[in-house]
A and B are shown apart, each in its own frame.
Chain A
Amino acid sequence: MNQYYVGVDVGSVSTNIVLLDSKDNQKLSEALYIRTKGQPMESLREGFKILQDKGYSSEDILGVGVTGSARVLIGHIIGADSIKNEITAHAVAAINRYPQVKTVIEIGGQDSKMIILREGVVVDFAMNTICAAGTGSFLDQQAFRLNIPIEEFGEFALRTVEPVRIAGRCTVFAETDMVHKQQEGATKEQIVAGLCEALVRNYLNNVAKGKSIEEPVLFQGGVAFNQGIKNAFEKELGVQLVIPDHFNVMGALGSAILAKEAIHETNKPTLFKGFEIMQRNHLLKRVECRDCSNACELTEVTVAGEIVAKWGDRCGKWQK
């Protein structure tokens, strides 16, 4: 009988779920990539349904880890053993896949990160600031505008050797620039290639900011699917980028490993409430705690009239 650790990464663009074999840290039994479409709960329900349909049972789950922008919400609802930020999750996954990795470039839907590692330990990291110009969402939008399916975006970029120069500093300017270049007669391919280069420049200016990029460099996150970006990075940096086999679910893989660590550390059974929990209807409500002058704003989750989770308090008394 196989047992598993579940890793869930609920991001702005995709919700990823992996099942990690409890005996083998290298073996992913399942890796799901589901579009979030603005509804993290819905997408997770869909994911859990797929797992159930494939015959996985909640009893075989030894631990659950959650990461991504909706991690706190989802973590409380499904009962996670580890709720961790994306940087730690991605770093752990990268070390798992390539123990000798020195740089991780991760570009996701709404944020992009760079993680610097030495001898399997994170020594520095950076995240994009407020602007989304260097992220997947930007590419998504532009692909939509150019009427190219996002999956083919990268191929378009490869079909030209002469990308046009597009201002990458800001999404709004980039768009103005694109329209202008189109009017001047640039082809779709040239524009797409130009966009890829703009995104890479933006990433290097805003995220990497002069950090020393040493090989091996791992490129992960949904955008790693895009060959155009990979080429643009390699051209700009002069190094080879390695794309791990599970590049788009690395965050989920990392959180599965973190869940395993958490379980080993505490030596307690998992808090997981089972795949079935998502089939029920969850009602979310914001309430104010009036027990002291802090007046914390709490998030309350009710299922069939019963409160199943409550958090957001500073003193911690509702989180038990």
Chain B
Amino acid sequence: MNGQTQAVKNYLTAFEIIEKQNKNLHPEREKAIQAFAEAGFPDKKNEAWRFTDLSRLLDVDFIPGRPAELNREIKAEIEPYLFTQWKGAQLVFVDGFFSETFSRIPVSPEAVQISTQLSETNTNHTETIPQEDLPKAENAFTLLNTALTRTGVSIRIKKNTNALPIHILSIQTNRAEFSFSMPKNRIHLESGSSLQMIETFVATGETVYFTNAITTIQLDENSRCDYYKMQNESRKANHISGLKAVQERNSVFRAHTLDFGGGLARNNLKAVLNGEGAETVLNGLYLGRGNQHIENHTVIEHAAAHCNSSELFQGILADSSRGVFSGMIHVHRDAQKTDARQSNNCLLLSEEAKIDSKPQLEIYADDVQCSHGATVGQLNEEEIFYLRSRGIGKETARHILTYAFAEKIIEHIDIPELKERAETFFRNKLGEKLHLNK
């Protein structure tokens, strides 16, 4: 059993290794690792981490990953995850390293800039996203990411450009057991531009590793970003992710997160509505089985007037899996005419499954419409009987009804390739022969 101290020491050592290998590290890394050394990992006394058992993460001394050798075997494992009819860029990372072999970057117009190697002098994100603006409770992981990141994507969509969709695919092979990867992505949509993008996290085997990913998206005036994240990591992996969107006037940010994998998976999702008329949609679907632990923590900062936000999270927990949802809506004093809605519904498929749901509203403006609701329930016995009375088996009936619950999120996926894949992941996972209660 590792304690907090040993775990912190491990990442300080990792930093030293990276420092030795790279001469010109950005000073921000040094600052970040020092701050991390002081703060350490959050424990359960920290309100935002009250339900999170980090022991699976702290118990292993994860080491920096190495680029995989792309032999024929690995290639065969990776290929099924690529979108074959994809028009836009497909940026593939294998074991945390950019793979030119699998990636495809169509000759992009000047208006779209993609750079895949975060150069060592390029980790300072303070120019667009001030460090102090990052979610505070996330500091340990955000700091670690800044200190130790070696890969990531930087995308800039120029003014009034409708970019082709971008798929960022991170694949962990089973050669990289016990390694960590800390991608840092930065997306900037200039005014009037639009982008559809997907981040996919998958593993080719059931190995233990640690992903600590950060994506920040800056949306200038009148821009629109449709963001999807599909996480199907190994069931033994630790997946911590931070997503932050900062929105200017009349921008639209629509995010869908789909969580199927991970032993411990935690998404910290934040949208900051800085300009009037901005709109945020934050939807999520998660399916827990075995002893998976899946968390979604959302923060919506309504910092300007006349903005809308809506959140819908549909969670399904089977076996002895556990889910946590916390949703903070913070309406600043000047954010009049805010319309903010939040809903978290959870379906418990077994008596051992458990959800903790915590909506939080902090409203400092007086002319606003805010609502939140949380439901926790089981499959409806009347509905099951109705299906069975027509000859549909009990197990199939349960699957049909569970899928209908998930469909409320899946139906919003506007990218056919992704929708199909999400359906497949969902159905396969639901159909696994673990014990479903009853």
The reply to whether chain A is a binding partner of chain B is no
